[in-house]
Amino acid sequence: MRKLYLWLPLALFAFFAGLAAYMLTQEKDQFVESAMIGQPLPAFALEPAFDGLPGAAKADFTGKPKLLNIWASWCLPCIAEAPHLEALKRSGVEIIGIAIRDKPADVANFLARHGNPYTRIGSDRISEVQLAIGSSGVPETFVIDAKGMIRYQHIGDVGADDVPTLLAELEKAK
């Protein structure tokens, strides 16, 4: 009994080894999720990102659940998600974009080349709104309900598989 403490190192080590083994089997999650889900969208009013569309503000998220898409013309995965955003638009979803650290000419160029699924695009030149809603990269897509509450966050580019998920989340947010 007196020497029971000699087993302590082994016990501690076994705990660590078990934990490490478990973590090795887990997919390493690179994403930082927003802690703002279920919170109201912070107030913001952004200037138009280019001449073609109006800017974006919190006040635009009324009437029905909408998507808030954080993107940029310099972001390569944003090209990949463009057709799927287009598909969402065809399903009657209203997508409001926020262009991060972007120039009007680049935005116009991108939309001319890859299509324009947006009804409004605000220009966030210093990632202010991005930080305010807890987004940590481009592209990210948020579901905002009619009361301006953040309901769901999709991190990374929207793929074909994600379209039904987003539609369902929009439905849920009604």
Partner 1 sequence: MIRWMIAALLALIALPLAVPVLGQDSMPPAPYAYNQLDDPRLEAEAAALMQTLRCLKCQSQSIADSDAPMAGDMRHQVRARILAGESPEAIRGWLIARYGDYVSYEPAVSSTTWPLFATPVLVILIVVGVLVRRLGKRRDDDAEAKA
Partner 2 sequence: MIAEIGLAALWLAAALAVLQMVSGAASLRAAPGESNPLAIYARPAAVVQAFLAVLAFLLLLRAFAVTDLSLKLVATNSHSMKPFIYKLTGTWGNHEGSMLLWVGVLAASGGLLAAFEKRLPERTMGATLAVQGFVALGFYAFLLLSSNPFERLPIPAVEGNGLNPLLQDIGLAIHPPTLYAGYVGLSVAFSLAMGALMTSEVNPAFARVMRPWVLGAWVLLTLGITAGSYWAYYELGWGGWWFWDPVENASLMPWLAATALMHSVSVLAARDALRTWTIMLGVLAFSMSMLGTFLVRSGVLTSVHAFAVDPERGAFILALLGLYIGGAFTIFALCAGAVAEGKRFAVTSREGALVFNNVMLSAILAIVLLGTLYPLLTEAFNVRVSVGPPYFNPAGAIFAIPMLLVMAVGPLLRWKSDSPKRIQFELMLIAALVIGAIALVSFFGRFPLLPLLGLGLAAGLAVAAFLPLRGRNLKRVPVATWGMVVAHFGIAVSLFGMACEGAFSEERLAAVAPGGTEQIGGFAVTLEAVTPIAGPNWTAMEARLAVRQDGGEPVFLTPQARSFWSPPQSTSESALLTRWNGQLYAVIGNQAEDGRWQIRIWWKPFVTFIWYGGLLVGLGGILSIVGRMRVDLKRRSASAKGAQRRADIEALGVAAPQPAE
Q: Is residue 47 within the footprint of partner 1 (CB under 8 A)? A: no
Q: Can you tell me the distance from the alpha carbon of 16 to that of 84, in angstroms, rounded to the nearest whole number?
A: 43
- Residue 11: left if φ>0, alpha if ψ -120 to 50, beta else—which one? alpha
Q: How far is the CB of 73 from partner 1 (least distance, A)?
A: 8
Residues 144-173 touching partner 1, rule: CB under 8 A, are 156-157
Binding site for partner 2 (CB under 8 A): 3, 6-7, 9-10, 13-14, 16-17, 19-24, 26, 28-29, 32
Of 19-27, 31-39, 82-90, 158-166: span binding partner 1 (CB under 8 A): 31-39
Q: How far is CA 19 from the centre of its chain?
A: 30
Please list, in sequence order, all residues whose beta carbon lies within 8 angstroms of the beta carbon of residue 4, skipping any fewer than 6 positions away: none
Smallest gap, in angstroms, from Cβ of residue 97 to partner 1? Answer: 15
Within residues 112-131, the interface with partner 1 by CB under 8 A covers 125-128, 130-131
Q: Which among 133, 129, 127, 130 is positioned nearest to 35, based on CA atoms?
A: 133
**Partner from partner 1, partner 2, none binding residue 19, C-beta < 5-8 Å depending on class:** partner 2
Rounded Cα distance, 25 and 172, in Å: 33
Query: What CA–CA distance (Å, rounded) separates 82 from 79?
Result: 5
Contact 25, 116 (CB under 8 A): no
Residue 152 pairs in a beta bridge with 143
Q: Which of 46, 75, 88, 166 binds partner 1 (CB under 8 A)?
A: 75
Nearer to partner 1, 64 or 101 (CB): 101
81 binds, among partner 2, partner 1, none (CB under 5 to 8 A by kind): none
Residue 129 structure tokens: 């709104």
Q: List interacting residues with partner 1 (CB under 8 A).
A: 30, 32-36, 72, 74-77, 100-103, 106, 125-128, 130-134, 136-138, 156-157
